[in-house]
C-alpha cells in the first residue's frame, strides 16, 4: 500500500519538512506521480522512517541521523553513541547542580522569615564577585561587557550583589553603593570560574547577619542597614569592613516591588 506525505506525517507524528529533508538526504525515495508531483511512500520507506525516529529519540540531530545511515561500519555508529553518552553525562551533572541550587535557593528564601529585621553573629560565606554598577550608573567598557555576558551564562548560580563602604554606611547622607554579581566559592569551584581581575575574592569573615526589605524603585539606601550598625555598637562590636549583601527574593506588595536582601556587616 502507498501513502501520501500527509498521511505518513500523521501516522508517524513528524512534519512534512522532516520527511522532505530525509528524502533530500536519500534516506527515503518516495514514488512521485508524474502528473501532479505527489509523493507516495511504501512500507520500505516507513521502515527507514521508523529507524530515523528511533535514533532521534536519542536526541541525535536530523543531520546526525541522516549521516548514520551513510556510515560504512557499525563501529562508527558505536563511536557516535559514545560521544552522545558524554553529552548525557554533562547534562546530568548540570541538572544535579541545578537541583542543588534550587534546594539552596529555597533555604535562602526560608531565611527571610527567620532573619527579617533581626541580627545574629555568623561567618559570611567566601565568594567571588565583580561590580558593574555604581549607585545608578552602569560601567560600560568592552572588558566588563564581555565579563557580564559570561556571568549571565552562570545564572542561576549567581546572586545580585551590593556593597556599601564602611564610610558611607556610617556617614549621614551615604547613598553610594556598588552593584554586581556574586558567586559563592562553592559554585565557583564547581563551575570552574577563573578568579582574575576584575573579579574579586572575598574571604569568610565574622559578621552581623540580617535580612532587610526595600520597597519601591530608587529607595535602596544604606539606611536600611542602620539597625545592624546599632546592633554592633550595642554589643560592643567594632565594624571593620564594608557592608554587603545579596538579593534573596522579590515580590509585589501593595503594587510596589519589595526586594528582600540578606546583608552582612563585618565586625570584630
Spacing of C-alpha 174 from chain mean position: 33
Out of 47, 70, 93, a domain closes at 70
Would you give the DSSP letter of residue 116?
B
**236 and 118 share a domain?**
yes
**37 and 108 share a domain?**
no
Give every CB contact of residue 265 below 8 A, 6+ residues apart in sequence.
169, 207, 208, 209, 210, 225, 228, 229, 232, 239, 243
CATH number at residue 34: 1.10.1660.10
Residue with cell 535514533: 55
Measure the CA–CA gap between 145 and 90, rounded to whole angstroms: 27
pTM over 0.85: no
pLDDT tens-digit readout, 27-66: 788 888 777 778 888 888 888 888 888 998 999 988 898 8
pLDDT tens-digit readout, 75-123: 999 999 999 999 999 999 999 999 999 999 999 999 999 999 999 999 9
**198 and 248 share a domain?**
yes
Residue 77 counted as domain residue: no
pLDDT tens-digit readout, 122-153: 999 999 998 887 766 666 778 788 888 889 89
**Domain span at 113:** 104-266
- Which pLDDT belongs to residue 33? 76
Q: Do β-strands 178-184 and 206-215 pair in parallel, antiparallel, or remain unpaired?
A: unpaired
Residue 41 counted as domain residue: yes
- Answer yes or no: are the C-beta atoms of 204 and 124 closer than 8 Å: yes
Query: Confidence class of residue 175 from pLDDT cuts 50, 70 and 90?
Result: low
% of residues, the chain, pLDDT over 90: 50
Residue 85 counted as domain residue: no
Question: Phi and psi at residue 21, in whole multiples of 5°?
Answer: -65, -45
- Which pLDDT belongs to residue 264? 96
**162 and 255 share a domain?**
yes
Amino acid at each position: 500500500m502507498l501513502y501520501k506525505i500527509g498521511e505518513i506525517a500523521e501516522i508517524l507524528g513528524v512534519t512534512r519538512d522532516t520527511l522532505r529533508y530525509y528524502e533530500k538526504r536519500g534516506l527515503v525515495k518516495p514514488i512521485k506521480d508524474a502528473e501532479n508531483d505527489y509523493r507516495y511512500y511504501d512500507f520500505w520507506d516507513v521502515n527507514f522512517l521508523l529507524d530515523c525516529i528511533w535514533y532521534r529519540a536519542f536526541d541525535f540531530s536530523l543531520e546526525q541521523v541522516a549521516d548514520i545511515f551513510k556510515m560504512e561500519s557499525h563501529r562508527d555508529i558505536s563511536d557516535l553513541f559514545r560521544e552522545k553518552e558524554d553529552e548525557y553525562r554533562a547534562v546530568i551533572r548540570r541538572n544535579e547542580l541545578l537541583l542543588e541550587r534550587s534546594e539552596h535557593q529555597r533555604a535562602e528564601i526560608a531565611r527571610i522569615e527567620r532573619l527579617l529585621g533581626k541580627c545574629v553573629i555568623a561567618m559570611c560565606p567566601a565568594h567571588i564577585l565583580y561590580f558593574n554598577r555604581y549607585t545608578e550608573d552602569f560601567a560600560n567598557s568592552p572588558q566588563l561587557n564581555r565579563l557580564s555576558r559570561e556571568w549571565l551564562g552562570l545564572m542561576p548560580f549567581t546572586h545580585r550583589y551590593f556593597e556599601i563602604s564602611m564610610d558611607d554606611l556610617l556617614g549621614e547622607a551615604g547613598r553610594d553603593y556598588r552593584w554586581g554579581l556574586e558567586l559563592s566559592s562553592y559554585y565557583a569551584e564547581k563551575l570552574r570560574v577563573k578568579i582574575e581581575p576584575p573579579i574579586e575574592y572575598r574571604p569568610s569573615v565574622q559578621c552581623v547577619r540580617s535580612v532587610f526589605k526595600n520597597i519601591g524603585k530608587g529607595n535602596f539606601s544604606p539606611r536600611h542597614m542602620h539597625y545592624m550598625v546599632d546592633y554592633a555598637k550595642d554589643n560592643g562590636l567594632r565594624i571593620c569592613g564594608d557592608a554587603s549583601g545579596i538579593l534573596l527574593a522579590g515580590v509585589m506588595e501593595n503594587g510596589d516591588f519589595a526586594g528582600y536582601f540578606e546583608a552582612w556587616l563585618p565586625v570584630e
